Structure 1
């Protein structure tokens, strides 16, 4: 393992002999992979993850974003598409002495690939590879098995081979079509990540770009009257204080000349003043950004029906996402989770919200599935939000990225893709 301080490669015996320190510069190692359980990380791996998620220390990020980022890296790190080939060939040769030996081996491998193609512990790339391996196994069973059955004049073996091979190909093809809709579980827990962060910062100092939990500041801030005389043309409303804090910390409001608030009232110290400024602008455009879960899907409805926001107002609201429509249509895998609580909350959504969703979207939500915004990197969230704002500047133009939803009250648009 290389030392992140001086770059010296330290073998296990070197690290052990020097009490977990670099043999050249004596810098302590935060992690010792050989003493870790199933999930093993190294100092260079963790350092690179922090550098990549922060775009080389230029962007702030939340602890949960780091959790998602590390989880994805760990899945990708353990992925090896053809690691099974050697064992497959070995067991087939080893069982050649019997007619049914290779068939049993192929059946076992097919079962393994099928289970792995739907495993919540693997990423979409690995699951897709296992589904393709299932197709390959099915083809091998058909070709080799039919030849063996014909050579042995066994009709029973022929039927078994054809059924097993075709079933493997069918299941592999079906799994390939379902990969993007399968749910995932975290490989690491939030408490485990907290321990890693504590250990890392104890040895290497504070991580400058990681954000703390949003603070509740109920004392109103003093704002210059000359500033409050103006307004904003745009407002970004988040369904969580964490995303609002992330955007503000990364100066999104300065670079895009907009106000940023959360539906929960963050930042509390300037919330009332900011809303007073916003209500002065009849041409205000509001951009909603939220998790794809029942609470997030209800964000736009809350903005339109809450007197603290824009009840009886004619302002334009643009739903950037995340929406089930975007997830269903995307070509790239997202970190989809599922919970009974989310399923129950989806069934209790107000009728007005349910009518704005397709039957497929409702079924997706009512199955308990959800996707969190924090599963995306800061760079991705900022890029998507900027794209949504840019694409909505002229709503009179034919912009295929926006979809008008509903025909009552506020104009409400939905961005059709996320990213």
Structure 2
């Protein structure tokens, strides 16, 4: 890797969490050169998790929107960051070290950080109106406006985003049906041990679930939609909110020479394969995960933040160790707080501690094939989560973690 010194120009493409935290981290670690942060949206950088959580349920006042901003104009000026909003990157030439922009201009870099994230997987059903998806601040505002009508909503997709939107819709007073082709979609999120309890939670709050059934068509228009299912049944809805996964934002990198495969492929140091002095981080990066033993692309807030900090340090000080992920994600399901850390080993086992029905809280500790703890899921149990995260870092056996927590397996 070439060295450019403290006066090098770092260009960051993508002004969401990963990109913004990289710019801030560069200054924290002493980078004195130019920093240019480029974002496709004409919005000051903002945090995305609140879009399906507290912001979706808020009054959309200036104060509530300001609360999700990642950085203020005053902080941008203080850090001497050249922030360019409302202009997307549409090409990369690694030979000349330039990025071309949608406004017809180009910008040269010494170091490039790709942080363009991922977009919502496009809905295959496109009636004239009424189908909504969530990825941006504008999307969240549009969904909130629709939910305020208190009319029937069909949510397509039973992942965390879909179920969080369903919970918000229930809070608005909307009748809600959640559809997913997987018979037990919650299992892929939290495991079989507590998936049923989460489904029961949605039912208890009034949501209807149609799991194991796919959508074949959505027709009509906003206020009068028909959602057609593959079992021949139909659902009437005012709006359909589609959350069927994401697609890494790499189209602008076609022909760049980078290795693109469900994201930008990197080495263990988050350096993009196929170019010098180019990094990829956040939702767009696919890197060799030391715990999983394969290349993964992780769409977690903590992962994006950690990778931003890592790359900022690598650019200013060099990197002596490969990046290792915390693998931490959380979700709000009505009043329940669901947290997941680490991973589940298919060859391992899990220990359930606590009882949701009796105590209102539970933890599932995952062990690998050798009995060493490798992950956990907790519901409404922050104390257990914090202790498990600390103990996972030192490679404790799962049984020992349960004992240290002072818990008895259910």
Whose strand fraction is larger, Structure 1's or Structure 2's? 2
Pair member with larger Rg: 1
Report the TM-score when normalising by structure 1.
0.25
Report the TM-score when normalising by structure 2.
0.25
Whose helix fraction is larger, Structure 1's or Structure 2's? 1
